[in-house]
A and B are shown apart, each in its own frame.
Chain A
Amino acid sequence: MSVTREELTAFADGELSPEDAARVEAAIAMDAELSRQLIAERRLRAALKRQLDPILDEPVPDALHGLLAQAAAQEVDKEATGAPSGEPAQLLDFAAARQRRKLAEKQAAKKARVPMFSNPRLGFALAASLVLGLMLGTQFHSEGLVIAPSGGGLRATGKLASGLDEQLASANPSGNLRILTSFRRQGGDFCRVFDGGGIAGLACKDRNGWVLERTIASRKVATGEYRQAGSAEADLMAVAQDMARGDPLDPDQERAAKAAGWLGSTK
């Protein structure tokens, strides 16, 4: 019985039923030409694998890992806050991806230059530049921060609350919470601007804890090692500046405030 070219390749590809495979195999065993063809098929497959398989062992670019880590974390925040996710204004196509890569390359090239907020008020500008400095090279972690609704507003709980209590703006960020700045508002309450896990906000301390005055889904653009301050952060810094009484806390003032449990107005 003759074996067609299609049958031979289907046999090589493992696509034949057991009966057909047995028939083709028997024919190949008795026909030198068929057996040469089968060997050629196998060599072709092996050559293609040799060509492309080494890619499996290459390190995967950080940007791809980062994209998924970020997506995994964003959803956690969304579930925790019930807020709409901080959907970055991405263009979902190839051209956009290419553009972003080129942008990232450009930014990496001028990595040494730290951008400043354009605001002339020195204190906040300094705080902002500190923030940008801290953001360089920070890795995104996927722990969720928790925000619970309470009474008229949102109140920080869990990791967010403990981070607001304990983390200093001048310290390196731990986990995915960063404190952008700390200041006192009119009336004396201590307030802090934070960013973490897809949500950024401004929280002020009262006797019962941290009340979230503002929350913004933060846009996190991971461009390789370099992260640029999202517009959410710039907006929050502007709000902070309007609310603040005086300049942001310097590291010593911040440590003192922390030691006092961030209870400003009652002191």
Chain B
Amino acid sequence: MSNATFCNELTALLPRLRRFARGLTRDAADADDLCQSTLERALKARQQWEEGTRLDAWIYRIMRNQWFDEIRSRGRRAHTFVHEDEGMTVGTAGDIDAENRVELGNVDRALSRLPDEQREAVVLVLVEGFAYKEAAEIIGIPQGTLTSRLGRGREALLKALGETA
């Protein structure tokens, strides 16, 4: 693959990368910084990508590694401080939308409260649409570990949505 094609394909992936970054970081500025450092790393490590394998999975792996390095260096593990009110700052002018908005706020809050590892599993499978096997490879863990993180994250979210599992 030529360099131009490689860069074009990365360009096409940018919207998805930004979504994944937002899912991981839960913060718009962090997400953009993460995208930036991920692209730089990917361009630098281009030779390590094997043609014929999925480029998206490759760069997702770079992204999540960068993010977990970052949170480790911040000395923050598995907890994101979220203010009680966050996510509840929904418009008051809601009628039909109100239920949806509250639900969105609840999901957002619950997602932020998940341990980072569980949130990563949830986002990769339920939002980014990777198969268990692919998600496990991106994270670099056995599939059983992936499904157990996913299961725990999912139960916590269902609870937040007012659903019981």
Interface residues of A (CB under 8 A from B): 5-6, 9-10, 13-15, 37, 40-41, 43-45, 47-53, 55-58, 60-61, 63-65, 67-69, 71-72, 75-76, 90, 92-98, 100-101, 142
Contacts and interface: CB of A to CB of B under 8 A. Distances in A.
A238 to B, nearest CB: 30
Kindly name the residue among B33, B39, B104, B164 whose own CB sees the greatest number of chain A CB atoms within 10 A.
Answer: B33
Given A43-B161, A56-B16, A72 B3 contact: yes
B10 A68 contact: yes
Nearest to B143: A15
Interface of B: 3-4, 7-8, 10-11, 14-16, 18-19, 22-23, 29, 32-37, 39-41, 43-44, 66-67, 69-70, 73, 100, 103-104, 107-108, 111, 122-123, 125-127, 131-132, 147, 150-151, 154, 157-158, 161, 163-165
Contact of A68 (B7, B18, B69): B7
B33 A60 contact: no
User: B-side binding surface: helix, strand, loop or mixed?
Assistant: helix
B22 to A, nearest CB: 5
Nearest to B164: A40
A60 B36 CA distance: 11
Contact of B111 (A13, A43, A48, A100): A48
B107 A92 contact: no
A101 B32 contact: yes
Contact of B161 (A47, A61, A63): A47
Given A47-B107, A64-B36, A76-B4, A52 B23 contact: yes
A93 B40 CA distance: 8
B132 A15 contact: yes
User: A-side binding surface: helix, strand, loop or mixed?
Assistant: helix
Contacts of A69: 7
17 contacts: A9-B151, A43-B161, A44-B158, A48-B111, A51-B104, A52-B22, A52-B23, A55-B19, A60-B18, A65-B11, A92-B37, A92-B41, A93-B69, A93-B70, A94-B34, A97-B36, A101-B29
Contacts of A76: 3-4
A167 B39 CA distance: 34
Contacts of B18: 55-56, 58, 60
Kindly name the residue among A61, A75, A94 whose own CB sees the greatest number of chain B CB atoms within 10 A.
Answer: A94
Contact of A43 (B127, B163, B164): B163
A90 B44 CA distance: 10
A7 to B, nearest CB: 11
